Structures are given as C-alpha cells and as structure tokens.
A and B are shown apart, each in its own frame.
Chain A
Amino acid sequence: MAAMTETAETAESAETAETAKTAETVPAAVREAPAARAGEAVRRRPRPRVWRGAVLALAGAYFLLPLLASFVFTVHVPGQGVTFEAYTELLGADGFSQSLLLSLGLAAATIVLSLLLAVPALIAVRIGSPRLRPVVEVVCMLPLVVPPIALVTGITTVLRWGPEHLSRTPLYQTFIAVQDERFPVVLVLAYTVLALPFVHRSLDAGLRAVDVPTLVEAARSCGASWPYVVWRVLLPNLRTSLAGAAFLTLALVLGEFTIASLLGFRPFAVWIVSISGAQARMSVAVSILSLLITWLLLLVLSRAGTAPSTTASAPATSRKES
C-alpha cells in the first residue's frame, strides 16, 4: 500500500526517463559495434518473450478470476438464471447509505486532519529545522510498527478510563463526545494515526522532488508572505503527492474494518460483513463495486495529479535524475 504513490510518479516520469536513458546512457563502444549487438539481440529475444508472456498471462488469470467469478456469483442465481437484483436492491438496503455516508465523512475528516498535521511539519522540517527531521520521520513511521488490532486494544483500554477514573472530571464529557454513534471522532483520530506513514511518505517524496529552499527564498525575496509562499508556491508543486496522500487515506478509511468493528461502530466495511449472512449476493456485489470505485478514484486522481503539474515539476524531475 505504501508504494502506491510511487505508481503515479513512475507512470508520470516513465516516458521521459526512458527516452533520456537510451539517449545518454548507451556507451559509445556499443554504438560503434552495432552488428555484433544486433546479432546477439536476435538470438536472445525469443526466449524472454515466451517467459514474459507466460508470467503475465498466469498473473492476469489469477487476478481476474476472483473478480469475474464474483460478478457471475452476483448476477447468476442457480435455477433462476441471470438477475441484477443484488445491484438494484442495494440503494434501498437497510443501512447502506448511512454506513457509506459515515465512511465518507470519516474519510474527509481524516484527510483534512492528517494533511493539516503533516504538511506544515514536513515543510518546516525541509526549510528550517533539519534537526527535527529524523524525529518527524520516526514519529510518522512508527504507526507502521503497530498493527491496527494492537492499536485498538490500546484505544479500548484508554476509552475505559473514561467511566472508570474520570467520571467526575470534565474530561469525561470529551470521552463521551468522541464516541458519538453519529460521528465517532475517535475513529478519525485512530485513522489519522494509521494514515500518517502513507501521508508522510507521499508528501516527503513530493518535497524531495522540489527544491523547497530555493523556491521559498525566491518567493520570499520577491516579497511574498509566508502564507502566500505555502499556498501559491509550495502546495501547487505538491499537487501530485497531496492527491496521492488523500487517495491513500480515502482507500484506507473506506476499507477499514478492524478498529471500527471492535469499537462497535458501523461504517461501510462493518456493514458489508453484517449483511453477508443474510444477503450473501449483495455483500459480494458491494465488494465488487468498492473495487471499481477505488480503481476509478485512482485513475481520476492520478490524472488530476499529473496533468497540470507536469510542467511545474519537469525541472525537478531532471534534477533528480542527474
């Protein structure tokens, strides 16, 4: 999951990188001896092609089969033939819209919170406080070490302190408020912790590709204020990684089951499991839809992220390669 941001970047720079590589990296000696190389290439080419085709075909079959089979499962009822009821009845299903809206709301809150926390910290670490950098990195990466199920044991323990020790203090009200059924803030907090490693990695990669100190100094010496520098100079350059961070967080929150179910809330993933017993077909249909939606989001975001910023990040890309 962590590596997903690299996909967008690789796809973006793949073409330019390849042309650049072949142009500058082919050694003179090789170019001077084309005959020998061509002969060798002809001899060697067929073998890897067969191998490559077999590998990709097998992989494709393995990854497509469950998707196709699930689709068949949802539309084909043994003895009755093909029906699309599992999909048409979805919208009216009990709890579908509530749980989906809850998940989307949680995702939006998590994205906003994690970006608000991480963006200033990472920019600050880049321009002003390099000594803080390892601290911020470790702090952001630590949640990777803690599996969600372990985190939730800690959270339940802490939440139990509310009624047990703090019932006489104003903190108790806070403990009740964060566990509100309609919008469980405690989930936003937990999800932000889980999302931090991915947000950090995505933003860090983006900041690495941009020469932040130079940009900031140039903007500052032109008289731009700090908010202006961040909003109009740095953030547009980070568009790809911001989109990547937001997407990863959205995917994480929409699919999250462990923490929500053990804390007793009912967002989307928990809802799917709760209906699976009575309506197996519908639960599979929702699973397929969630995959399609994720796919669509990824495509849209990778387009939105790369297209406008290609020109802006072009110099940075070439710098990185040198």
Chain B
Amino acid sequence: MSAPTTTPHREGTAGGTTPRRRRRGPRTWLAALPLLVFTGLCFGIPLGAIAFGAVTRTDPDTGATRATGEHLARSLQGPYLGSLTGSVQLSALTALIATLLGVLIAQALVTSRSAALRSAALTASGVLANFGGVPLAFAFIATAGISGVATQLADLTGLGWDLYSFTGLTVVYLYFLVPLMVLVTVPALDGLRPQWREAAQNNGATALQFWRHVGLPVLAPSLLGGFVLLFGTAFAAHATAAALVGGSVPLVTLKIADALSGNVLTGQENVALALGLDMILIAGLVMAVYLPLQRRSARWLR
C-alpha cells in the first residue's frame, strides 16, 4: 500500500507541490547550465560550421549556398586520401608498438618491489606522456636529426636512418605514446587481484595458463581501450609532425594546416573542413570503441 502512495507524491514534487523538493531540482540543474551553454557556443557552433561547410558550397558571386558532396568526395581522393591513410597507418603502427612496450614496462613496474622506482617511473610517465608537441620534436632533432648528437656519434645516416621519415616519426611518437600506455595500464595491472593468481596456482595452473585464462581476458578490455586511446592520440597529433617533418610524410593534420594557412585556391577551405569532418568521424569511431571498453574493464578492475 505504501508504494502507490509514495509514487504519486514524487510525481507531485516534480510538478511542484512540495516546496522543499522542488527547490532542489531546478537549482542543481541551473548549476550545470553555464557548462552546457558554454560548450554549446564554443564547441557546438564550430562543429556545426565544420559540418555545414563540408557539405555546402557558397557561390562567391551570387552568395547562394547549396548542398554538395564534392568537398567530401575530394577529401577522399588523390593526395588527401593518401594523407588520411598515411595518418591511419602511422597511428595504428605506433599505437600497436606502444601498447606492447607499455604493457611490458607496466608489468615490470607493478611486479617490482621498489616503491621509489615505481613512483618515480609513474611521475616520469606522467610528464613524458605530456611531452608531445614542439619541444619533443626539437629534442629529437637535436638527438637524431641531420646534425644531431646521436647521428654524429653513431653515424646513423650511414646506417640509413632518417628522422624526417615515416620510421623517424614512429620513433618520435613512441616517446609520448609508451608512457601514456604505462599510465593507462598500471592501474589495470594493479587491479589483477593476487588471490586470482593464488586461486589459479592452488588449482595447479601454470603462469602461462593463468595469463591465458584469467589475466588476459580480464585485462583485454583495458588493453584494447589503451590501444584505441593511443590510436586517437597519435591520429590527432599535429604539432610534433609539423615541427619535425613539414611536408615529407603525408599526414592529414599537415594537409589541413596547409589548406588553412597556405595561399589556397578558392574552395580549398571547404576541403579542409571536409578533411576535418573525416578526422572527427574516424576519431568518433575510435572513441565509440574506447568508452564502452573502459566501462567493461571498470567492472572487473575496481
């Protein structure tokens, strides 16, 4: 009998009969309003402009705007398509290598007994994961560029090394991707409870069997999520590549920057917008994979 009486009572509060309850609802809603308005204006409008500009064409003479698919079509052809696939290849390769290396390092840290080593390494990872962009590019130019210290000492050029290439960019990207993976993975590895391993051992499982049947399945969502996060990070990176290679490696971010800042042909900005839209779609796809995976791993690793 009590349930039916409380339900209408609650509905009544929403409609506005009980003053105490009613005051609470709208008030808290208002506290979130500035955030929603701000993102609507400063994020929503530029996004809308990208989407609108990517699928329309405005005639410079008449000012008439009509819908067209030509910008999107052009963004998926020739050098633009090459830059998109170049970006995807570089991101996938670096993310894959960084995932493997990051897990190895994270496991080494988690199993090490030294708390000092662990906290120092985690702090370092935190800094290095943020050490992308321009400073990183210059550090690598000083190290392995044409007149870099390591290049001179070890005669890397003679060995076929070129920093301003796909391989060079891969090595540079790993510098901030691996620490990022370590940061993402250490909590997950910490979450592998020791009693699971003990339970497996008590049942006679070898270390390999433990990893195959318990460890990896539990970690899989976190690892996949980490990979996807790294992919997104590498895909969106622009400053490092811009300061490092300029135009010698085809990357979509560099193409967009060229189209935006160079002496562009008319309509080129719209291709930049279309490329931006392509990037958002790819990154959106990546995040659509990442977020559910994170939620799934959170269920086990608490």
A interface, CB within 8 angstroms of B = 1-4, 6-7, 10-11, 14-15, 17, 21-22, 25-27, 29-30, 44, 48, 51-52, 55-56, 59, 62-63, 65-67, 69-70, 72-74, 76, 116-118, 120-121, 123-125, 127-129, 132, 135-136, 139-158, 189-190, 192-193, 196, 248, 251-252, 255-258, 261-262, 269, 272-273, 276, 280, 283-284, 286-288, 290-291, 294-295, 298-299, 302, 320
Contacts and interface: CB of A to CB of B under 8 A. Distances in A.
Interface in B48-62: 48-50, 53
Contacts of A21: 193-194
Contacts of A252: 130
Is chain B's binding surface mostly helix, strand, loop or mixed?
Answer: helix
Contacts of B143: 65-66, 69-70, 73
B70 interface: no
B150 A145 contact: no
A286 B242 CA distance: 18
B123 interface: yes
B280 interface: yes
Interface in B118-135: 118-119, 121-135
A30 B198 CA distance: 8
A135 B235 CA distance: 26
B180 A121 contact: no
B27 A128 contact: yes
B46 to A, nearest CB: 3
Interface stretch (B2-10, B36-44, B213-221): B36-44
B92 interface: no
Given A29-B202, A272-B135, A302-B123, 14 more contacts: A3-B183, A25-B195, A26-B198, A66-B140, A117-B35, A129-B28, A129-B29, A141-B287, A147-B235, A153-B275, A154-B49, A157-B50, A258-B253, A286-B135
A157 B34 contact: no
- 7 closest A-B pairs by CB: A128-B28, A154-B46, A147-B236, A287-B135, A124-B31, A150-B276, A73-B142
A37 to B, nearest CB: 8
A286 B111 CA distance: 36
B88 interface: no
Q: Which of B27, B134, B236 has the most CB of A within 10 A?
A: B134
A66 to B, nearest CB: 4
